[in-house]
Structure formats: structure tokens, C-alpha cells
A and B are shown apart, each in its own frame.
Chain A
Amino acid sequence: MSAVVSVEGVAVRLGGRLVLRDVDLDVARGELVGLIGPNGAGKTTLLRTLLGLLSPMRGTVTIAGRRARAGAIPIGYVPQRHEFAWEFPISVEQVVMTGLTGKLGLLRRPGVAEWRAVDEALERVRIADLRTRPVGELSGGQRQRVAVARALAPQPAALLLDEPFTGLDMPTQDLLSELFASLAREGRAVLMTTHDIAGAIHGCDRLALLDRTIVAAGSPQRLARDAGLWMRTFGVGERSPLLRILKAAA
């Protein structure tokens, strides 16, 4: 499978501190990859680098064969839910339309093609019936679907999800997990950061453990069998609940 997201030897320095070093990571078309690591491991920094918001001091980042640069690459981004102004008086379809603002460019108004793209994105995440509802009235799961629809509107080749399960109940997490897997099956490269290790092991095609650098990457079941790897990465002991999760998954 060809890599849509390609990270080679990337190092990123923030505020004088080396946050990422020697990061290599590929996400292929049709693949859902879980990016896992402790707090401060550099997950969000890596996502921001992929989005072209941070410039690596070393290495290269390419998306669909083009060097990552904000606005210049076909990439969909779903930020953490608290970063979005949900109290804004705006309907679901208007929010999804904002996903096309960059593509439309200055001074151009949305036309038939743009509204068709919004329709398709809403249908794809199964919230077309909510299209005229104010986003402030939606549940957490519905809001996350709106954010995914907004990211899908420009029809990106790659989708980046920043902790999409945080604060959601288990049934909602399961539904979203199925959605993300099906979005990958349709030919997108999907990279998701998460602290939900059990969900990532069950839902992702591949996991990448990040702690300033990629310490391991591979199939969830293979990584789950190496308890020592997780204990070192997360700095936990043998009695940690994390190991019980891994044992159940392995």
C-alpha cells in the first residue's frame, strides 16, 4: 500500500526544547493508525507538524506526495472537542461548510459544488437529519460527527483525529470507532491520537507508540504482547491496569 502520510527523520524543537526526534512514520491509504503515548510524548506536536503548522528542524513530512504546508495539502483535521466554539449560533451545515473556507479562498462564496460536498459529508457521517440544528444543541457524539464531517468536506486524502474519544461514553466511542475504520476502508489514510488504549487495540489496523520518537510500531496484537515496551513507554509498574488491558487484548 502506498503511504499517504510520510514522516522521515523528523525533529521538532519548541521553545528551546527538543519535543520530537528521529520520528519515522507512514500511514498508508486505507489504513487506520493509532498514535499512542504518555502526556508530553509529542502527539499533538506531531499532528501540528503534519498539518504544516510547525516546521521540523530536521527531516521531511509529506502528505499525498507533497511537502506539508498549511492550506496547501489535502488533509482533514478533527481537533480536540474543547478547542471548538460549540456555543456559536450556527447550524450543523454551516459548520461543515467552514471546512471549505480555505479551499474556496478569499471573497468567493459557496456555490452548488460546495453545498453538494457538504451534503455528501453529512450523509457520510449520518447526520444529514441534523443539518439545520444549532450545533450547541447537539450531544458530544453528534458534535464529534459534525467535526468529522467538516474535515471530510474538502475530500481529503488523509484524516488526522486528535483524541476523538475524550469525554464520550462507551456506546458513542464504539460508533465513532466504526466510523473511523470505515472512513479508512474507503481509501483515506487515518491517523488518530488517543489515550483509549483498549479502543485503539481493537479498532486500529496499526499502532505507533510515541515518546518523543516512535519507540514501536506494528499490529496492535503484536505490540500488546510486549508488556515491557508499554511499561517503559508509559513509566508504569507491573500492577498497572494498563497491563491488564494489554493482557486481555493479546
Chain B
Amino acid sequence: MSPAEFVGDLLNPDLAFLPKALLVAVMSSIVCGVVGCYVVLRGMAFIGDAVAHAVFPGLAVAFVLGGSLVLGGVVAGVATAVLVAVFSQNRRLREDSVIGVFFVAAFALGIVVISRAPGYAGSLQQFLFGSITGIPDEDVAIVAGTGVVVLGVALLLHKELVTVSLDRETARAMGLRVFALDLVLYVLVTLAVVISVQTIGNILVLALLITPAATARLLTDRLGAMMALAPAIGGLAALVGLYVSWSWDYPTGGTIVLVLTAFFLAAWFLAPRQGLIAKRSKWD
């Protein structure tokens, strides 16, 4: 399928779900790109993975009860983040072990909950791998509104989040509430994950958080540039991924992630200063 034909499909009223899916995928990729910069720079990829899994029981409960998926996901994600923070106070266990216990437990709880719903297999597959069909109109507005809130909070607390990321002890000495800022960041990650789950799926959503930010980091040594590049990379990958998936009938979530991975590999080899080719040419 040519790009022109894809645009034609996007404008076709019989395929109204397609532009909605594109809009949701691009918006959630942009939000994940910005939030992912903090996750990557703080070395929190494992925590991001944990939060991504932790929202699952909330989504499942909301699905079974017919409630708001965003609200359900946020409640479950934040509850798990708080549990991890509290249990990590025990010095016998490292934080990553506590995360390992709770995020798998949360995911398992989600599977048990959703197994009680009619059409269990289809629902499960939709949550795990995403789907571009069946996105209600109100979800587009919810994703847009949530995205604006997440980006607004990240912008307002940017200097505090950067200060804590650089050096937690000095941040504490300045009087910053490091624990509260950590929780805010977990909530932002949770919201970014929840609005992305519908199109890309629960299992693959981590790629939206990590890969654009990691790719941007390979391309620049400037924080501002990184935070502009990461959402641009995520948004472009969502567009290209949806086009490829629609053209060749591939799963949307998986295709977007593979496009993101291709961008990452291209940056790894071709980045102007840090790329493998640039380094090789310096050695020659």
C-alpha cells in the first residue's frame, strides 16, 4: 500500500477507527517520549517495566466492571509504586527484588481478574498486545487530556526532577521532597503507560517509554534537545508503524516497537558523534 492510499484510508468514513487509532498512538508516543527521558536518565527502566505491568489489574478490574480504564490503571499503578516504595525501606532487600515481587504479583492478579470476564481470551489478547479497533470516541479525549496533564506536570516540575536525578542527597539537603517527587514521577509513568496500552498493549508499552528516549540520548548531549527528539521519534515511529501494520496486516503494537527498534539501531550506528560509524572513522 502506498502512503497516498494510506492517507485515503485515514479519510475514509467507513474506516473511522483508523484515524482515531493513529491519533491515540501518536499522542501516547509523544507523552511516553517525554516521560521516558526521565526514566532512561535515572536508570529506571526496570521500574518503568514494573509500572507497566502493575497497571494491568486496574485495567482488568475496570474492564470487568465497565469503568474507566485510565482510572483503574492509575489506581493500580500508584498502589503498586507505593507498595514498592514502602517495602524497599527494609534494608535486607534491594529495591529491584521488591519490584520483582510486586509487579509480577500485580500482573498475575490482573490475569485472574480478567479471567472472570466473558470473552476472556480476546480481552486478554487485546490488553497484552493492543488493538487499533474499538477505541471509543471518549478515549481519544481522555488520552489527549491526560497527555496534556502529564506534559504540564513534567514541565512544571522539570527543574526539581532534574535536580533529584543528578544527586538525591544534595536535593534532600536543599529541602526538596525527594520521595514525593519520586511518587509524582511514578504517577506520570503510570499515566503515560495507561494511555498507551490500548494501541500498543501492556507487554510492549515499555518500548514506547524507553526506546525513543534511549535513541534521543544517542543523538545528543543536550537535555532540551533530548526531550524534544524523544517524543518526535516516538510520534514518527507510531505513524510509520501504523502505516506498515495497516499495509501488510501486521499487529500494530509489535510493528510500532520494531520501527522504534530500527530507529534505535540506526542511531547506534549513525549518530553524528557517538555512533559506531563516527567512532570508527575517528580511530582510522
* Interface of chain B residues 158 through 215 with chain A (CB within 8 A): 159-160, 162-163, 165-176
Q: Is A89 an interface residue (CB 8 A)?
A: yes
Q: State A106–B155 Cα separation when bound (angstroms).
A: 12
A84 and B166 contacting across the interface, CB-CB below 8 Å: yes
Question: 8 Å CB contacts to B: which residues of A137-163?
Answer: 137, 150
Q: Please tell me which one of the listed residues B159, B168, B222 contacts residue A91 in the complex, with CB atoms under 8 A apart.
A: B222
Cβ-defined contact, B172 with A98, below 8 A: no
Known A-B contacts A88-B41, A89-B221, A89-B222; the reply to A101 vs B173 at CB < 8 A is no
Partner of B159, one of A15, A98, A150: A98
Q: How far is the CB of B165 from chain A (nearest CB, A)?
A: 6
Query: In the complex, which of the residues A70, A95, A103, A150 has the most CB atoms of chain B within 10 Å of its own CB atom?
Result: A70
The residues of B that contact A110 with a CB separation of less than 8 Å are: 159
B226 interfacial contact with A, CB 8 Å: yes
Bound-complex Cα distance A94 to B223 (A): 10
Verify B173–A90 contact, CB threshold 8 A. Answer: no
Contact between A77 and B173, CB atoms less than 8 A apart:
yes
Chain B 18-40 residues near chain A, CB threshold 8 A: none
Are A88 and B223 neighbours in the complex by a CB distance under 8 Å? yes
Q: How far is the CB of B43 from chain A (nearest CB, A)?
A: 9
Residues of A within 8 A of B53 (CB): none
> Do residues B176 and A89 form an inter-chain contact, with CB atoms below 8 A?
no
Tell whether, in the assembled complex, residue B222 and residue A102 are in contact, meaning their CB atoms are under 8 Å apart: no
Q: Which residues of chain B are near A104, meaning CB under 8 Å?
A: 159
Chain A, interface size category, equals: 35 or more
Report the bound CA distance from A110 to B162 in whole Å. Answer: 14
> How far, in whole Å, are A61 and B173 apart by their CA atoms in the complex?
15
Given A89-B41, A89-B222, A134-B221, A84 contacting B167 (CB threshold 8 A): yes
- B21-75 interface with A by 8 A CB criterion: 41-42
Contact A85 B169 (CB under 8 A): no
- Cα–Cα distance between A77 and B225 once the two chains are bound (Å): 29
Q: Which residue of the partner chain, among B167, B175, B221, contacts A85 with CB atoms under 8 Å? A: B167
Bound together, the chains give a CA A102 to CA B175 distance in angstroms of 6
Q: Are A90 and B167 in contact (CB under 8 A)?
A: no
Known A-B contacts A98-B162, A98-B166; the reply to A75 vs B173 at CB < 8 A is: yes
State A160–B225 Cα separation when bound (angstroms): 34
Distance in angstroms between the alpha carbons of A99 and B171 in the assembled complex? 9
CB–CB A90/B223 < 8 A: yes
Choose one: A70, A97, A98, A109; the contact of B175 (CB below 8 Å). Answer: A70
A198 in the interface (beta carbon within 8 A):
no
> Cβ of B160: which chain A residues have Cβ within 8 Å of it?
101, 106
- B167, A79: Cβ atoms under 8 Å? yes
Across the two chains, which residue of chain B brings its CB closest to A15? B91
Q: Which residues of A contact B88 (CB under 8 A)?
A: none
Does B41 contact A85, Cβ atoms closer than 8 Å? yes
Is B173 a contact partner of A53 (Cβ separation < 8 A)? Answer: yes
Give chain A residues whose Cβ lies under 8 Å from the Cβ of B115. Answer: none
Residues from chain A with a CB closer than 8 A to the CB of B4 are: none
Q: How far is the CA of A70 from the CA of B176 in the complex (A)?
A: 8
Chain A residues with Cβ below 8 Å from B157 are 106
Decide: B162 and A51 in contact? CB cutoff 8 A.
Answer: no
Whether B166 pairs with A85 at a CB distance below 8 angstroms is: yes
Q: CB distance B221 to A101 under 8 Å?
A: no
Contact of B226 among A84, A89, A95, A107 (CB under 8 A): A89
Q: Judging by beta carbons under 8 Å apart, are B170 and A90 in contact?
A: no
Q: Does B220 contact A (CB under 8 A)?
A: yes
Q: List 13 A-B contacts (CB under 8 A).
A: A51-B172, A52-B173, A53-B172, A70-B175, A71-B175, A77-B169, A77-B173, A83-B167, A85-B41, A85-B167, A101-B159, A101-B171, A101-B174
The 9 closest A-B pairs by CB, nearest first: A71-B175, A102-B174, A134-B221, A51-B173, A101-B163, A98-B163, A84-B167, A102-B175, A89-B221
Interfacial residues, chain A to chain B (CB-CB below 8 A): 15, 48, 51-53, 70-72, 75, 77, 79, 83-85, 88-91, 94-95, 97-99, 101-104, 106-107, 109-110, 134, 136-137, 150
